Amino acid sequence: MNRGLFRGRGLQIYTWLVIAWLVVPIAVMILFGFNDTRGRFNTTWQGFTFKWYGQLFEIGDLTQALVNSLLIAVLTMVIAGVLGSLIGLALGRYRFRGAALLTLVMFAAISCAEIVMGASLHSLFITLGVPEGFPTIVVAHVMFSISFVAVTVRARVMTLDTSLEEAARDLGANTWETFRLVTLPMIFPGVLAGSMLAFALSIDDFVITNFTAGSTVTFPLWIWGVTRVGIPPQVNVMGTLIFAGGLLIAVGNIIAARRRRA
Amino acid sequence: MRTLRARLTPYALIFPGGLWLAIFFVVPTVVMLSLSLQSGNVVDGFAFTFNWHSYVDGVTTYHDQIVRSLLYGLAATVIQIVIGFPVAYWIAFKGANRKSVYLFLVLLPFLVSFVLRTISWQYLLSDNGILLGPLRDAGLLPQDFRILATPAAVIGGLSYNFLPFMILPMYVALERIDPRLLEAAQDLYASRVQTFLRVVLPLSLPGVFAGVLMTFVPASSDYVNASVLGGTNTTMIGNVIQNQYLINQDYPIAAAMSFTLMAVLLVGIFAYARALGTEDVLEVAAR
């Protein structure tokens, strides 16, 4: 029997139309990175050129903003990756008093409106007189990423068999050796997935960064700042390169997963 | 018997991350509440006076923006269910061995910065842009027709930006449905419509609920779409909060509005969480 209730190609065509709608702005972004625009506003097509790829780093502030974004994302990935994985391991492996409270706080952090988290942190920093900048952005990004990493790692931990760790201990491994040689390799796919999620969340974040950045500028903040005066094509090129990088990593993951299954 | 050390292990594991969440998520919320009850200004300083006026003033002044945010968020959520459900259904039941490819295509927008995606729509929809310009020149649209700065542009942008968050949990719920249930329903002489309404739809509801949670919260609290695609008549509560905090620096009223937004959303979220169980929502949210 045919799986599902509906016959014909209607739904398939519909699905492709929705996917097309989702991809349209990406296509526009990539296309206008090749636009030979002369004015400040890069909104009408004026011919094909590669020159913006050659002049990619000619706007100093923009380059600095991109560098800031990448640095913040890497720091967030490492810090939230470690702290979130430890929480995920504790929640997936142990039953302990306070686990429900921690889960509730994480749930609140995941479902809280970004603007409320940003506004709260901004309130804290202005009340304490902490100058906002690069470190406060990292603090904020780690804060909202921890829960996502923890939930991802917890899901992985819960699928694991504890008998392997018991076997390691029976064979004379101490706690640290068991963790390093048995537990960590087993949960590593979860840790990697969670850390990559943290990187992705960090590099794309606008709202919370807007509230905690002070005068430091990240890639999304720089774009936001020039919205009204015209966006240079270099932004499109950088967006295209980030998109291509993400695409390569994701496709690589899918192929690797296929190969493991085969 | 478990040793003391074994009992302390989970606490040692959660300590650094838990502390981070406590200091930078829980404490700031309390600080914001306190800030909303203070009075004063940025020059003379602020003092805690247990002043409820910021709430009264804020809700009176920004009544329109609050209502508009909830309406736009609701409209975008409904549009996303209507647009997304058939897609989630088709991928879950007809995606065969290419499900992950289709899901990947649905998630593609997340590889481009949120702000950049919204600005892309601004390019597309601008009055003389690549879409409206040619249509108007061809006489297919009246000369004064525009999309930017209308509620339709903002709601459209919100629907676009958060659609993958709606499709994903709906897909997860639909994918879990055993196809034999559909066969059983049909063997028992249910029509296609009956099978859909009485088997598929009820089983997909947890996914729809999770999707609503994941799209309504960001949509109703957003200010990027309203700023980039909207005009002066489409400002949302997010615009107010951003403006008051970062430009006017009228912190008490900004904090009061932010706290009001949080309270409204929290009531909704916890009603949902109660109905579904926290674990389920967290699990779906993590995917």
Minimal CA separation from A143 to chain B, in Å: 6
ipTM of the complex: 0.90
**Does residue B277 fall inside a structural domain?**
no
- Within 8 A of A247 by CB-CB distance, chain B residues are 111
**Does residue B107 fall inside a structural domain?**
yes
**Does residue B108 fall inside a structural domain?**
yes
The Cβ of residue B13 has, within 10 Å, a number of other Cβ atoms equal to 21
Max CA-CA distance within chain B? 83
Decide if A145 contacts A76 (C-beta within 8 A).
yes
Q: How far apart are CA A76 and CA A201, in angstroms?
A: 9
**Does residue B248 fall inside a structural domain?**
no
pLDDT truncated to tens, each residue of chain A (262 aa)?
445 566 668 899 999 999 999 999 999 999 999 998 887 777 778 889 989 999 889 899 999 999 999 999 999 999 999 999 999 999 998 889 999 999 999 988 988 899 999 999 999 999 999 999 999 999 999 999 999 999 999 999 998 888 888 898 899 888 888 888 998 999 999 999 999 999 999 999 999 999 999 999 999 999 999 988 888 999 999 999 999 999 998 888 878 877 877 6
Contact at CB, A96 and B11, closer than 8 angstroms: yes
**Does residue A227 fall inside a structural domain?**
yes
Reduced to 3 states (helix: H, G, I; strand: E, B; else coil), residue B45 is: strand
Beta bridge partners of B199: none
Reduced to 3 states (helix: H, G, I; strand: E, B; else coil), residue A98 is: coil
Domain CATH number, residue A193: 1.10.3720.10
- Within 8 A of A89 by CB-CB distance, chain B residues are 13
pLDDT of B52-78, one tens digit each?
A: 788 888 888 999 999 999 999 999 999
Contact at CB, A146 and B17, closer than 8 angstroms: yes
A-interface mutation test, from B2, B11, B14, most A Cβ less than 10 A away? B14
For the packed helices A184-204 and A233-261, what is the interaxial angle rounded to 10 degrees?
A: 160
pLDDT of B155-196, one tens digit each?
A: 999 999 999 999 999 999 999 998 898 889 888 988 888 888
Cα B98 to chain centroid, rounded = 28
- Within 8 A of B177 by CB-CB distance, chain A residues are none
Decide if B137 contacts B244 (C-beta within 8 A).
no
Decide if A3 contacts B179 (C-beta within 8 A).
yes
Number of H helices and E strands in chain A, helices first, is 12, 0
The Cβ of residue A88 has, within 10 Å, a number of other Cβ atoms equal to 31
Decide if B246 contacts A121 (C-beta within 8 A).
no
| B42 contacts chain A (CB < 8 A) | no
Number of residues written out for chain A: 262
**Does residue A47 fall inside a structural domain?**
no
**Does residue A25 fall inside a structural domain?**
no
- Within 8 A of A83 by CB-CB distance, chain B residues are 16-17, 20
Domain CATH number, residue B70: 1.10.3720.10
State how many domains chain A has: 1
**Does residue B161 fall inside a structural domain?**
yes
**Does residue A256 fall inside a structural domain?**
no
Beta bridge partners of B47: B39
Contact at CB, B117 and A26, closer than 8 angstroms: yes
For tokens 């039941």, name the residue.
Answer: B93
Minimal CA separation from A94 to chain B, in Å: 6
| Average pLDDT rounded to a whole number, residues B91-112 | 90
Q: Where are the beta strands (DSSP E) in chain B?
A: 38-41, 45-48
| B286 contacts chain A (CB < 8 A) | yes
Rg (CA), chain A: 23
**Does residue A206 fall inside a structural domain?**
yes
Query: Which B positions 158-217 lie with beta carbon below 8 A of chain A?
Result: 160, 163-164, 179, 182-183, 192, 195-196, 200, 213-214, 217
For tokens 């903002």, name the residue.
Answer: B154
- The type of residue at A164 is L
* pTM of structure: 0.90
Q: Is B163 exposed, middle or buried (0-12, 13-18, 19+ CB in 10 A)?
A: buried
Q: How many alpha carbons lie under 13 Å from residue A85 in its C-beta half-sphere?
A: 23
Q: How far apart are CA A213 and CA A221, in angstroms?
A: 9
- The type of residue at B158 is L
Domain that holds residue A83: 60-231
**Does residue A52 fall inside a structural domain?**
no
Q: What is the DSSP secondary-structure string of B31-92? A: HHHHHHTEEEETTTEEEE---THHHHHHHHHTHHHHHHHHHHHHHHHHHHHHHHHHHHHHHH
**Does residue A247 fall inside a structural domain?**
no
Decide if A218 contacts A209 (C-beta within 8 A).
yes
Decide if A237 contacts A53 (C-beta within 8 A).
yes
State how many domains chain B has: 1
pLDDT category, B4, cuts 50, 70, 90?
Answer: confident
**Does residue A41 fall inside a structural domain?**
no
Q: Which residue of chain A is at minimal alpha-carbon distance from B92?
A: A4
For the packed helices B251-276 and B278-286, what is the interaxial angle rounded to 10 degrees?
A: 110
Which of A22, A26, A122 is closest, CB to CB, to B106?
A22
Domain that holds residue B157: 64-235
Q: How far apart are CA A260 and CA A183, in angstroms?
A: 20
| Average pLDDT rounded to a whole number, residues B132-156 | 85
**Does residue B172 fall inside a structural domain?**
yes
For tokens 């998109």, name the residue.
Answer: A243
